[in-house]
Structure 1
Amino acid sequence: MKRNVRHLVLAGLLLLPMGATAAPATAPLAMSGLAGAASINRTAPPSGEDPDNLVGEFIKYFKKYEDSATRVEAILALEDVEDAGVVRVLVPVLKLEDKDVVQAAVRVLSGFKTSEPIEAFLVALEEEKKEPTRLGLLRALAAGRYGGADKSLEKCLKDRRSWRVRRAGVLALAAGPSEGAAELIVKLAGDREPAVRCAVLDSLAERGSGLVLEPAAAGLDDAVWQVRASAISALARVRRTNSVPLLIAQMAREEGRLAADVAAALESLTGRAFGQRRELWERFWETYKERYEIPTDEELAKLLAAKKARAEEYSPPGAVSYHGISTPSRSILFVIDVSGSMENMVVEREKFAEGGYPSMQRLDIVKTELARTIERLEPYVKFNVIAFATKIEHWKKRQQKANALGRSSAADWVRNLEAIGGNSKETYSAVGLAGAANLEGGKTNTYGALMAALGIDPDPKSPRTGDYQIELDTIFFLSDGRPSTGQYIDSADILREFTAANATCKVVLHTIAIGEFRKQFMKDLAKANGGSFVDLGR
């Protein structure tokens, strides 16, 4: 029976994107002599025990396996083997190019419960020099939340050659149990790499550390918008009165999505719902600043309860709205599904009866709405459109100004889109003209489309082929079905990989679903990436 490699990797434990935390597999061990020790799990096998000689069998057979699925299965066979030999045989695996194999190795390395393999793991982290291997070890450290790694992590934080190692070190520290983590993390607040500066702010804010306030205030002046976004978010999450005037002043310097981020941060600090009306914020602060206190969580909840009722009154002019999701962004990408199933008719026709659509075909509905949205864009907005089925097609190679020419060209391009390999093409296939039907071309390459949206080519084996400092800050992603082709098909894999890639890009992803399929994946995508989800219906 053919094995699904990704289900093997994900069975029992979904590996989180770098920087997310999992339930601790272990705390640091008292008997190891490591800092912050805790007791051993007495139900685990005795340290050093490999009664079935699985490590020896792995050494004998792994190099003979050529297919990814068998390699993953062989690695996962080492789960629950509490032996330092597991570390010795899996550390070299971390430098391989097969991401599924590496993912499996990270999973096993993050699951130790006894002192011997954990100590061997920490020694490997201390001694390793190669970037891919160090990154894999740091991912495992973050997922396993092993203690006693401060010395090794300090070494990673000082790595001048690789910003990825420094960033991974920050995230591993933030995920772990070290009481001194915040003090170590904040030292990199002025790192030369923007992604590291973002990781510092995000990690300190996640821990609720007051040490984030000073670098966040400085980050408001950063030249890179992603760092400013992290700074704004940090001031909103670690709530202090002194942050209110800083954010009010910042509102005058931001536009588009970041101006909305500032308004949201102020609302989370104060419970007031003045949106992007800076004059109202200034008037509010001038009145209350001498005696103002940040509301408690209960008080804030009450203040925000009425926020939606006043939202439209304070919404910014020129906001873009697509299928009910509004954004003030000035750099937008629309990603639209043109796979074969988009040729199907909607079931709940009454929902769309007043829309003036050419037909009740799913694609006709979404094309019409997208063309209308494009035609309403303000000239200062930059935008692009991607259509995807099995392959990915861009309207333009880069973001375009929404001037008269751009709007007309894009709207015409969208209106001329057709579903690829749909039901109407099956007649060709039935009479032997499969090529004309192009049914293979009409599958749903969700992973490829999402990564292309970030400027990342999903085909190369390199973990990153794009620049995370992108101009784009907001994506609208519309699809009518489950992923069916591409490098990753399993929805959990796609969620993990896209969210990990977007951790440095910091793009807001809004998702829109139409049709009859399980839509939890689309909800999870939006939630994990700061966006909203809309279900248009069946």
Structure 2
Amino acid sequence: MAKPAPNKVRIRSKSLIKVLVISLLAHVAILLTIGGVVIFSAATQDSVEFEAPTAIPEQPPQVPIQIKINSNPTPPKKVIAAPAVSVIDISDIEVPTISQNSRVAFGTGELGGNWSTIEAKMPDIDFFGVKTSSQSIVFVMDISGSMIGDERGPEGFKIVADEILKVLQSMSDNGSQTKFNIIGFAGGVETLSGSVREINEATIQRTKNWLRRMDPAKALKRDQTFDSIDWNKYQDGLHAGTRTDLALKKAFSMNPEQIILLSDGEPTGVSVDEILMLTAKLQEKQPNPVKINTISYRSKDGRSFMNALASRNSGEYLAVE
């Protein structure tokens, strides 16, 4: 058999190589195209998947709550319906007058189950503005001749006497249980009674007569003045001097709860300091401290003493102009 020519073999080999190269390049192009599409799709998906999430507002930290359990729980309150209120005409109803010592009843608990009474004490003594209440009181009045002199005038003591009678009558009208006595003092001491007495019409009338006898103005005759009288000689010196110390001793001996002292001047016979010391000693002997109220009567003399006496004995000082 005859062999092919060498030129023909070479031509076939070159053609085959070209086909192979073209085929390879076509495959590479296809692979590159497919790879690019895949890479582009993956990149686009990653950008979507890895977008930053929407910010969520931060919640404040929760505070722990402590719950206490009451071992004795309070029972629920009972609600009671109020009854219907009707209007009542009280124009014709007499309301009783409240006295100085009145008792008031009140209820506590549901519907006022527990009833109690309290006693309301109101001042039943108002003497020249000194307002007080007491189970027993002694009025200590200056009866010296100066009580009708200078600014006080001939009616000076009578004004004081009328004030005492007005207080006693008011206490009697209000049913006061206070017991009283009156001491008049000048160079000595005069007393209405030996001890404190109940207030009634009989004792008020007796007081009126006694005060009339104690008035230094009875020494005045026609055209006479305070300065024209020798008080040391008139009625054996009944209206001469101002022995406040003797009056206080007598008042303490009656064991009162309170004393009201009225005077128009400085004490005589002893010093102010001696009287203050005397009063302190008298207080020590009492089962309970005695309250001393003082009144300066239309005079600037003795005011510092009267003020000191009241302040040291839990009392009130007042000046009557």
| TM class by smaller structure | 0.5 to 0.7
Higher share in strand: 2
Change (3 A) 1:510 1:496: same
Q: Report the counterpart of residue 78 of structure 2 in structure 1.
A: none
* Contact 1:419–1:442 (8 Å) recurs in 2: no
Cα pair distance change 1:389/1:329, threshold 3 Å: same
Contact 2:148-2:226 within 8 A present in 1 as well: no
The match for 1:508 among 284, 291, 294 is 291
Which SS does the other structure have where 2:193 is aligned?
Answer: coil
Tell me the TM-score normalized by structure 2.
0.55
Matches within 5 A, 1:117-516: 316-317=121-122, 319-346=124-151, 361-378=155-172, 380-419=177-216, 424=225, 426-427=227-228, 429=230, 435-436=233-234, 441-455=239-253, 471-485=255-269, 489-505=270-286, 506-514=289-297, 515-516=299-300
Residue type of the alignment partner of 1:364: K
Unaligned runs of 5+ in 2: 1-100, 109-118
Question: In structure 1, what is the Cα distance between the partners aligned to 2:155 and 2:144?
Answer: 13
CA contact (8 A) 1:345 1:362 kept: no
Report which of the two has the higher share of helix.
Answer: 1
TM-score, normalization by structure 1: 0.34
Mapped contact 1:477–1:510 kept (Cα < 8 A): yes
Alpha carbons 1:384, 1:400 under 8 Å: kept? yes
Number of residue pairs matched? 202
Cα shift readout 1:103-161 (whole Å, capped 9, x = no counterpart): xxxxxxxxxxxxxxxxxxxxxxxxxxxxxxxxxxxxxxxxxxxxxxxxxxxxxxxxxxx
Larger Rg: 2
What is the SS of the residue equivalent to 2:171?
A: coil
Change (3 A) 1:277 1:406: closer
Counterpart position of 2:112: none
What are structure 1's unaligned runs of at least 5 residues? Answer: 1-275, 284-313, 348-358, 456-469
Relative to 1, partners in 2 of residues 1:408 and 1:499: Cα closer, same or farther, differing over 3 Å?
same
TM-superposed CA distance for 1:277, in Å, is 8.3
**Cα RMSD, aligned residues only:** 3.3
Q: Percent identity?
A: 24
C-alpha contact 2:264 2:302 (8 A) present in aligned 1:
no
What secondary structure does 2:278 align onto? Answer: helix
Q: Distance in 2 between matches of 1:325 and 1:448?
A: 23
2:158 partner amino acid: D
Distance in 1 (alpha carbons) for counterparts of 2:106 and 2:293: 28
* Cα drift, residue 504 of structure 1: 3.4
Q: CA deviation at 1:447?
A: 0.5
Instruction: State the partner residue of 1:56.
Output: none
CA distance in 2, matches of 1:527, 1:362: 26
- Pick closer, same or farther for the CA change 1:490–1:280 going to 2, 3 Å: farther
Q: Is the 8 A contact 1:345 1:360 kept in 2?
A: no
- Give the Cα–Cα distance (whole angstroms) in 1 for the partners of residues 312 and 232 of structure 2: 39
